[in-house]
Amino acid sequence: MSVAAQLKPQEMDHWDERVELAAAARLIYKLNLHEGVANHVSLAVSPDGTRFLVNPSPAHFGRLKASDMLLLDANDDGDVADSAEKTNRTALGVHGSVHRHCPHARCVIHVHCMYSTVLGTLMDANLPPIAQSAVNFYNRYVIDTEYGGLSFKSEGERCAAMLSDPKKKVMIMGNHGVMVLGANVADAFNRLYYFERAAETYIRALQTGQPLRYLPHEIAEKTSQQLEDYPDYSKAHLAEMRAFLDDEGADYAS
């Protein structure tokens, strides 16, 4: 019997989306972009973005399956198909608020990956255009400098207000971590991967103590737009990475 055939009807809703979200979580673990069980991935499944899938908590990204994903409603912080008690208040606070106020944010990933988190501890947490990976994000992120404790509903509302501009798809969460938005799972995963690599390049460049070579505004903006328009790159990236999981016989799609 197939996995889908064994699930309750509500657990089969949005099955392909559940599989893709679970794959992204497994890859975040595989690439060491996670921290303990303090990580969240969510995906809007309604036109207004308020109904969304999110991982349960506590649950390790390295073990998540498609059937584990919860279906919640951002409008009432309650449950749609599963109990909201199975996730935590920080997941509801951040992801619920962003999905409620930012319908363009179809997929939201929040993690504490090393170099992005280090970047957020600097007094100047900007990511300058010193390499192509960094140019990806030129003028396309916001920096939150008002960390106010665990991301319960009030913190989530405050963060969501900073992400109203659809062009700003990354939040450098000062003293906390990073949150990336995407048009779909592949878009968000790809953005997280490259933001962490860009942050690593910058932090390592600073460690040399040598002067940095900055790209001029015109080239940085031009290249950023070219990368943004590159056809289907993020989908190809996620598909190739999922192939690694499939080759290993990973059970994320169960």
Domain positions in the chain: 3-247
pLDDT, one tens digit per residue, over 181-238 is: 999 999 999 999 999 999 999 999 999 999 999 999 999 999 999 998 887 899 999 9
Identify the DSSP state of 94: I
Burial class (CB in 10 A: 0-12, 13-18, 19+), 240: exposed
pLDDT at 78 over 60: no
* Cα angle value 242/244/91 (rounded, 5°): 45
Lowest mean pLDDT among 27-31, 57-61, 151-155, 234-238: 151-155
Q: Which of 190, 99, 206 is nearest to 137 (CA)?
A: 190
Cβ pair 124, 117 in contact under 8 A: no
pLDDT, one tens digit per residue, over 59-72 is: 899 999 999 999 99
* Domain 3-247 CATH class label: alpha beta
Percent of the chain with pLDDT over 70: 89
